[in-house]
Amino acid sequence: MTGFRWEFQPAGTFSDIGAAWDEFNAATFRLPLLSAAFTGAALRHFGAGDEQLAIAYDESGTAAIGLLRMRGASVVETFQPSQLPVGPWLQRPGLELSELADSLVRQQPGHIVLASLTQLDPLLVTRPKDGALLRSLRYIATGTIELPPSLPEYLAGRSENLHANLRRRQHKIEREHGPVTLEVHDADGGVAAGIGHYADLESAGWKAKGGTALVRGNQQWRFYSETMESYCRDGRGRIYVLRFGDEVAAACLAVIADNTAYLLKTTHNERLRSVAPGMFLRRHFIESLYSREPNVKRVEIYGSLNESQRPWITGVREMYHANAYRGSVIAALHTLSRRVKHPFRALGEGSF
């Protein structure tokens, strides 16, 4: 087993290592959703102040970096607010997650019995086989769209039922509301307007009732305004606003990097549900990629797959969580507690 040496420091130092974090990300995952700007903003806006930065070293240099937080007295887990679609964990290619996680749980200060690494993408970190001291758990199925060379080729691969629904609903939309158009805000000066449209839709929908909506002036508003302005300054941010006539029908936030478009958030006008604004947003978003972003060959949804997405996607994969235990007895007891749906409170109620 490769020997790793872990260093731990308060996450308040994250801004000091932002350049090193981005350099390591560029050399490993190349994922814009784990940039220092995005991850650091999540830490500032949603962190509790007790998070820690963990860095692993081996004979070749930096092996892994993660943002962690304590859950109770005996569990450490990745810092995972809902705004981060992927866990803030980076590791060098060719290393085994099981070995890194095992060394992490053993070198953590205090008597840590479980390290929980959440929302891992198997495209970035191969899902390990379960062992005596490591278990992986399904998180979500998420969809991917591989874009062929031309839009007609992509559309030819979609079902006739989808095309028929688009034609039928478009006639109704044009008759009752006006033409279907898409605005793309990609300059930092246009972020306020784009986020405003998004917030107006989401704050009028079901998320507002549960208190999870992006609302003008709230914490999510500030987070997404800051991060989308940063992405737009770098030429990577896009805010798509779909209109039926003059009325805003749907919106989404996205990041374009290399040859991939990453969807961050999507919302729609619930009063227009009968004419499926989300369906038209996907159609016009993909058309926009072909016309405006010819280098994009892939779309990552990075959200839980739903039935409305299935007609558009070309592939599905399962993201996962990984639990590393200090001993086999702890692993067996925790696994048993999950099977009988009884929280193993000694390990922390929030562990996976």
5-139+320-347 and 148-296 in the same fold: yes
pLDDT score, position 210: 81
Per-residue pLDDT band at 8 (split at 50, 70, 90): very high
- Can you say how many angstroms the Cα of residue 227 is from the centroid of all Cα atoms in its chain? 14
Q: Per-domain residue ranges for the chain?
A: 5-139+320-347, 148-296
pLDDT of 350 over the 50 cut: no
* Structural tokens at position 43: 């830490």
Cβ(280)–Cβ(170) below 8 Å: yes
**Phi, psi angle pair for 299, to nearest 5°:** -120, 125
pLDDT of 351 over the 70 cut: no
Mean of pLDDT values over 28-55: 97
pLDDT of 323 over the 50 cut: yes
For residue 184, the cross-strand partners are: 240
pLDDT score, position 345: 40
The string of DSSP codes covering 71-139 is: ETTTEEEE---TT-SS-SEEE-TT--HHHHHHHHHHHSSS---EEEEEEE-TTTSPPPPPBTTEEEEEE
pLDDT of 331 over the 90 cut: no
Torsion (CA) 167, 173, 178, 181 in degrees, nearest 10: -60
3-state secondary structure of 242: strand
pLDDT score, position 349: 34
pLDDT of 66 over the 70 cut: yes
Per-residue pLDDT band at 206 (split at 50, 70, 90): confident
pLDDT of 298 over the 90 cut: yes
Cβ(108)–Cβ(8) below 8 Å: yes
Rounded Cα distance between 36 and 191, Å, is 20
pLDDT of 328 over the 60 cut: no
Mean pLDDT of the chain: 92
CATH 3.40.630 fits 148-296, yes or no: yes
pLDDT of 343 over the 60 cut: no
3-state secondary structure of 332: helix
What secondary structure letter does DSSP report for 281? H
Rounded Cα distance between 272 and 286, Å, is 21
Rounded Cα distance between 229 and 172, Å, is 36
Mean of pLDDT values over 67-82: 94
Mean of pLDDT values over 240-255: 98
Whose tokens are 């800051």? That residue is 226
Residue range 5-139+320-347, CATH number: 3.40.630
Sign of CA dihedral 187, 80, 120, 108: positive
pLDDT score, position 111: 84
3-state secondary structure of 56: strand
* Structural tokens at position 351: 């562990």
For 91-121, the pLDDT digits (tens) are: 999 999 999 999 999 999 888 899 999 999 9
3-state secondary structure of 39: helix
**b/e code 194-210 from CB counts within 10 Å (16+ = b):** bbbbbbbbbbebebeee
**In this predicted model, which residue has the larger pLDDT, 46 or 347?**
46
- Residue in 119, 116, 115, 57 with CA at minimum distance from that of residue 87: 119
Per-residue pLDDT band at 338 (split at 50, 70, 90): low
